Structure 1
């Protein structure tokens, strides 16, 4: 995501250490009292300052790995009001920025790693915006899909390692037919799901091009229809009554006209 959609200075600063594993990043989208399945209701705001920087204010929770992360990708509203489908953006926030605070840890079914964070007027440079302003949902959903694919791949690797190293009274687990079936099912799910991510990324761009092309053709058609000659033709055609045309007869067998009445209904000559 950073390699494709971030500014050049952001890529030079964070991309290499992120790939090398020297820094960590997390994603903050969900908010308290807001359904996590409806990001259009996001309340966290990012306002553009006079110097071009972003001032971010809001709270996020269930942010995975926020306590050990160096960067947080924050879903914030840069325009409009909560509920609007436009005005959502992704902004990269360093966790050492003044105003960034870990509020508390939120255990989920006894598991740790989820945190509530506060963004109390955090200022970040203007080039920390990921992608175009207001065009976030494709990137956000893609990031979430890639995250779950990575976790699934990690779980698959651990499962294969466990099956190869764990042995019972009847030999290694990898020799059991049921275990092999589970491994195959997991691998099949991974390999069939992974290609869907780039396809889903390409669909909005393709649909946008199709929509723009249709709008351009419609505008051109309206321009042609608004010409004086076209208006005169429409008025003349509306005033002229339609010409009468005899009904066309459907051909029967061997190109002969179909007979009306009983022959058209499929009755035989004996019942006429």
Structure 2
């Protein structure tokens, strides 16, 4: 299955729209061994409530070589658990550099099934990422309207809408009528914009970051989904991995609660 098909299958089969983020922060642990064990334990404990897992590359990169080793372990364990892997790297560059990023993160030894990408160097810079995703049955998630408060500095005045139109154009190139390989990042912190972006990109999976620590609420996210309850992934990281310090059981219950809150929001809608 493609990434989009695998995520949609888990959404329907397990009734979950939750994307569990993994942000292993060394400052939270006594040493690297404790960080590794806790990260893998959280992944396993939350898998039944997740449609996919989203390792944040920055935290793995900050650990140096042990971080890349751990990332490969995370990806391998996720696949054993049947969880699609969405790497949050927000990569973007020109020419051969973009192609190298695409090869490394969508086809390499520690590649994910999907990758977040930055379009603000120009739409042509997306091409190597989209081609790699399509060649490997993966996906890219293009930044459209991010969850941070300062996003409007560069994403306002119609810029987000232009990016959304390009995503819709790229997806129209793919055969079929299901979800295509180019998704979109639209912050869960912008609930008033979700219906508009859902309509603008009908074949794009939407990644909705911002649940938990950034203040977004599951109850506000129903407009991001199609009427059958598919089409979006709501992401929570700190609110799950560090729900109560390093308590893995608390992280599992936080994931369960967020899954249930998302389902309740859709049921009410």
Q: TM-score band, normalised by the shorter chain?
A: under 0.3
Structure (1/2) with the larger helix percentage: 2
Calculate the TM-score normalised by the size of structure 1. Answer: 0.24
Determine which structure has more spread, i.e. the larger CA radius of gyration.
Answer: 1
Which structure has the highest strand share of the two? 1
TM-score, normalization: structure 2? Answer: 0.25
